[in-house]
Amino acid sequence: MKYLVVLPAFNEAHTIGSVIREIRTSAPFADIVVINDGSTDGTAGIASAGGAMVVNLPFNLGYGAALQTGFRFGVRGGYDLIIMMDADGQHNPASVGSLIEAMREHNADVVIGSRFLQGSYRMSVARKIGSRIFSHIARAYTGIRITDPTSGFQLLNREAFAYLAEGDNYPLDYPDVNIIMALHKRDFRIAEAPVVMTENSTGKSMHDGLRPLYYVVKMFLAIVMVLMKRRGR
C-alpha cells in the first residue's frame, strides 16, 4: 500500500522542517508532499531540503484548493491512501497509527482524527459552540457520532480522495462538515479515531477576526448545497 502525507502550507517556514522530521520518524512508510500555497517565506526550500516533494501553487489559493491539489497529486502518483495533516505542527504524527487501525477495524473509506476522544484540547468558546453545532448536524444527517467535524487530520482511501479530487467536489476554503455529509451521501464509509493535537503556538488561525461569521454562514450554505445533490456514487 502506498501512503502519501499531504501538507498544505502557507508561510510555515518556522514549523515545516520539524513536522517533516516527525513524520519521517512516526510514519517512515509514507511519502510526503508539501503543497506550497503561494508562500513568501522559505517554506518550499525547507520542505525540499527535508526530503519532501513540493508542489508550488502560483499564489495563495486557499486551504481547500491546496488539499485538492494534494488529492490530484495522489491520484496521478498512484497512491492508495492519503493522510491529511497541517503544516503548523498541531497534528502529532504519532497518531497516524490510530487512523490506520480505525480504517482497518471499521472498514472505512475515511477516518477523521478527533482531538476530543483522547485527552483535552482548549479552544475559544465561539469555536467550541460552532464545533458542537456542526457535530450535531453531522450526526443527525449521517447517523454517525462525529465529535470533531472540523478536524483536518484525516486518512482517506483512494476511492474517497479520487472523488474529492474531481471538479468542484472540494471547496476552495473551508472543507468541514459539508464534506463529511457529501461523502456520506455518496455512500463512503466514515469513522473516527482518537488523535493528539497541540494548540497552535503561532496564534494564526483560519478563523481569526470576522472569519468565524463568514465561516458559519458559508458552511450553512454549503450544507444546503449538499442536501440538494443526488445521492449515491
- Identify whether 81 is part of a domain: yes
CA distance 111 to 104: 10
CA distance 55 to 42: 14
What per-residue confidence (pLDDT) applies to 126? 62
**CATH number of the domain to which 58 belongs:** 3.90.550.10
45: confidence class by pLDDT, cuts 50, 70, 90: very high
- Identify whether 168 is part of a domain: yes
Fill in the DSSP letter of residue 95: G
Q: Please give the C-alpha separations between residue 52 and each of 48, 65, 182, 183, in angstroms, as whole numbers.
A: 5, 19, 31, 29
Kind of pairing, strands 110-114 and 53-57? Answer: unpaired
Record the cell numbers describing residue 51, joined without a space.
526530503
Residue 201 in this model has a pLDDT that exceeds 80: no
Fill in the DSSP letter of residue 27: -
- Identify whether 102 is part of a domain: yes
Q: Which amino acid is at 128?
A: K
- Domain region containing 67: 3-228
**Average pLDDT of the residues in 193-217:** 67
- Identify whether 233 is part of a domain: no
Where helices occur in the chain by DSSP H, the ranges are 16-26, 43-49, 63-76, 96-106, 125-142, 158-164, 177-185, 211-228
What per-residue confidence (pLDDT) applies to 140? 82
User: What's the total number of domains in the chain?
Assistant: 1
Record the cell numbers describing residue 74, joined without a space.
495522489
Question: Cα 67 to the chain's mean position, in Å?
Answer: 7
Per residue in 125-161, pLDDT (tens digit) is 666 666 678 788 888 888 888 999 889 999 999 999 9
Does this model's pTM top 0.75?
Answer: yes
What per-residue confidence (pLDDT) applies to 107? 97
For residue 81, what are the β-bridge partners?
Answer: 3, 157
Q: Count CB-CB contacts under 10 A for residue 53.
A: 14
- Identify whether 88 is part of a domain: yes
Residue 28 in this model has a pLDDT that exceeds 90: yes
Where helices occur in 62-195 by DSSP H, the ranges are 63-76, 96-106, 125-142, 158-164, 177-185
- Identify whether 60 is part of a domain: yes
CA distance 179 to 51: 31
Fill in the DSSP letter of residue 197: B
Residues 45 and 16: beta-carbon distance below 8 Å:
no
What per-residue confidence (pLDDT) applies to 172? 78
What per-residue confidence (pLDDT) applies to 135? 81
Half-sphere exposure for 79 (CA within 13 Å, toward CB)? 27
Long-range contacts of 55-58, Cβ-Cβ distance < 8 Å, separation of 24 or more = none
Poorest-confidence range of 15-29, 107-121, 147-161? Answer: 107-121
- In b/e form, how buried is each residue of 180-197, taking b as 16+ CB within 10 angstroms? bbbbbbbebbbbbbbbbb
- Identify whether 39 is part of a domain: yes
Residue whose entry in the numeric block shows the C-alpha cell 517556514: 13
